[in-house]
Amino acid sequence: MSAAAPAAFAALFQPCTLRSVTIPNRVWMAPMCQYSAAPDGPDAGVAQDWHFTHYAARATGGTGLIIQEATAVSPEGRISPYDLGIWNDAQVRALRRITGFVKSQGAVPGIQIAHAGRKASTERPWKGGRPVGPEAHGWTPAAPSAVPFREGDPVPHALTVEEIREITGQFADAARRALEAGYEVLEVHGAHGYLIGEFLSPQSNRRTDAYGGSFENRTRLALEVVDAVRAVWPEELPLFFRISATDWLDGEGWTADETVRLAGLLREHGVDLLDVSTGGLAPHADIPVGPGYQVPFAARVKAETALPAAAVGLITEPEQAEKILANGEADAILLGRELLRDPYWARRAAAELGGELRMPVQYHRSW
């Protein structure tokens, strides 16, 4: 990673180069599902006008890297029937419209590819988010073990080794399609209690074969997916991995120590940056939510490994974000809900901190 820029620039507005891709600043958009695609038929998982408008607004707003929401590698990998997908060519064609516009605004288009595991087949959040069956476009979810996410949820199908290999291949196919669609940054979703995170945690992974038990076995799928993706994702383009650094289960689940250990392995396997979040595996976890509450986990990865890390989670103010970077706690800031509230957050931050951003020529008279 390089960060050459005039000293007068705020850290938040220094460019960031990963492999051959230079991201113009450190204000990055975290993946956030919109649950706004068609649930079935020829348009299932296909990006709509809502998705274009949503991402276009953040690109014109000055966000340096826009990581598209968790995009399913298969129909069964969707969190809800209304999620975006990247398992067919129709989906790729629709996504090219988004990546083309994002690039035209000087931003970098990224995409998170994902499989929801046992947390799949749920209703949209504003409809309650509970599991749905075939009568509501749903299906039986799959997981490392037949352990439901919460009491009363459907028991997921425990994946066979053959099925695990098939899913690994689906991640590789999704990476190929992401390249065809014009993305320049690819992120593998291993966080928030979805499939790869379910394999990592002993709370959800009760297997007794090569994919369960020891740290080496529980991390096997994560590394196999990364290897499969890196084999088809161009050498010159960066690969991210999103992780929940802790399950917040007092050492009984996935831990921060294991995250640091895995970070080193991910770097050896070709990952360029760790997107550090937490939680999502257990509904009863006691999470001490507060401003910047996940930053220490990114800071630890950055301090104890050679892998760059990005911080996310209740980072809302420009001075707060700038301090995190200036203190060396993270290499970039990922904004989630704050960018939902304010697509032009980066422009406000630049005005407050003295940064410089590209302005669409149509808006020059406002500056």
Residues 6+ apart with CB under 8 A from 258: 200, 215
Dihedral pair phi/psi, residue 343, rounded to 5°? -60, -20
Instruction: Note whether 242 and 301 are within 8 A (CB).
Output: no
Residue type, 134: P
Report how far residue 356's alpha carbon sits from residue 349's, in angstroms, rounded to the nearest whole number: 10
Residues 6+ apart with CB under 8 A from 287: 248, 278, 279, 293
29: which strand partners?
66, 335
28: which strand partners?
65, 334
Strand bridging mode 16-18 / 21-23: antiparallel
Dihedral pair phi/psi, residue 342, rounded to 5°? -145, 95
3-state secondary structure of 170: helix
Handedness of CA 100, 103, 107, 108 (dihedral sign): positive
Specify burial of residue 140 (Cβ count, 10 A radius: 0-12, 13-18, 19+). middle
**DSSP letters along 40-107, please?**
SSTTBT---HHHHHHHHHHHHTT-SEEEEEEEESSGGG-SSTTS-B-SSHHHHHHHHHHHHHHHHTT-
Active site residues: 194
- Establish how many alpha carbons lie within 13 A of residue 111's alpha carbon, considering only the half-sphere containing its beta carbon: 30
Distance linking the first and last C-alpha atoms of the chain = 32
Give me Rg for the CA atoms of the chain: 19
Alpha-carbon 118 to chain mean position: 18
